[in-house]
Amino acid sequence: MPKKTEEVPATEPFLKVGECLYRNTSSGTYYALVKRGGKQIKRSLKTRDRRLAERRLSEFRRESGVARSGPEERRLTFLQLGTQWLTMQSAALKPASARRIALSFREVCKRFGSMRTTEITRQMCREWATERAGEVRPSTYNKDANLLKAVLEHAVERGILLENPAKAVPRLKAVSKLVRIPTQDEFERLTQTLDGMDPRTREAGNLVRLLAYSGMRLAEATNITWREIDFGRGQFTVTGGAVGTKNHEIRIVPLFPKLAEFLRGLREENHPAPDDRVIQTQSAKRAIASACKAAGLQKVTHHCLRHYFVSNAIEVGVDFKTIAAWIGHKDGGLLVAKTYGHLRDSHSAAMAERMVF
């Protein structure tokens, strides 16, 4: 509860020594002098120690509901403040992540963009959260809610707000996506269909094979160069090119037999230079969709082919920790176990059927 404010006689000589901080030149005692709603509030801080006075001033300002920013900052709209925050954040993010945050920012600005940041209340944030949760999937809602919280927390850090009005906005439990893993037969039908459709889809077929045989993410596969393929040592290096890998770390992965066979054939066919990219296309999305339709297959995405790689590794008995290292997970196999554990169980059950004495 705020302490009772002590009025300071106007006749006492005060010297301003800091923002909202004054010192009585006769007694040496420090005083707080702040404004709220056009009204001036004064209080003796009851100390002659500058550091202690600054701490007590900070407490007094929190009790008085007065932020430490200037009037210009307090007039900033959510759009203006958020744009500044977004610029700082995007500098350290990969392009895809920056685009996703910008998408959430545009969505949140539909409600709060034109409002002054200081006008946003807890009730407004709760109402927005209720409406947004009913419009989109939990994962999308959580991204948008995190954006709202982050921008308003930035306002707190700059002294525009004393507390974050979106702090209590709840996070929804995201529903796990069903992992779609092509079977061996489906993969063969997909690649054969791509090979036979059109000469222009041949490169899409090469990308599909590279993803399936290596376990790389799409951006990693489309940026790998021939210099990073070491046939002599039987390994390849995943750097992600200029974009980098998802966890910003380079990894060295064994050159798996099927992958080595595929890459040798590709090298003999094209005679590439060391700095040429192994795959010349950036996406096979449209070609895959056309091939799936032509072959009567369920939808297959680039990421499905990463699942295909992992499922094959599990079926031949590779442990989760090793698989995690191959595909660039830093959690020692926890995510692989969580995502693909059912594959190990089903494979184990199938192997158990062979145990006939």
Whether residues 20 and 83 fall in one domain = no
Structure-token pair, residue 338 = 């969580």
* Structural domain includes residue 5: no
User: So what's the pLDDT on residue 146?
Assistant: 96
Same domain, 130 and 266: no
Alpha-carbon gap, residue 271 to 204, rounded angstroms: 19
Query: Cβ neighbours of residue 211 under 8 Å, at least 6 residues apart?
Result: 218, 221, 302, 305, 306, 309
Domain range for residue 122? 74-157
Would you say 5 and 41 are in contact if contact means Cβ atoms under 8 Å apart?
A: yes
Given this model, what pLDDT does residue 62 score? 66
* CATH code of residue 295: 1.10.443.10
Q: Are 310 and 264 found together in one domain?
A: yes
Tens of pLDDT along 1-48? 444 444 444 445 778 888 778 888 888 999 888 765 556 677 889 999
Regions of the chain where pLDDT drops below 50: 1-11
pLDDT given at position 337:
81
Structure confidence at residue 345 (pLDDT): 63
Confidence at residue 38, expressed as pLDDT on a 0 to 100 scale = 54
Residues in the chain: 357
Total number of domains in the chain: 3
Same domain as 241, residue 309: yes
User: Are 103 and 194 within one domain?
Assistant: no
So what's the pLDDT on residue 216?
96
The reply to whether 193 falls in a domain is yes
Can you give the pLDDT at residue 285?
93
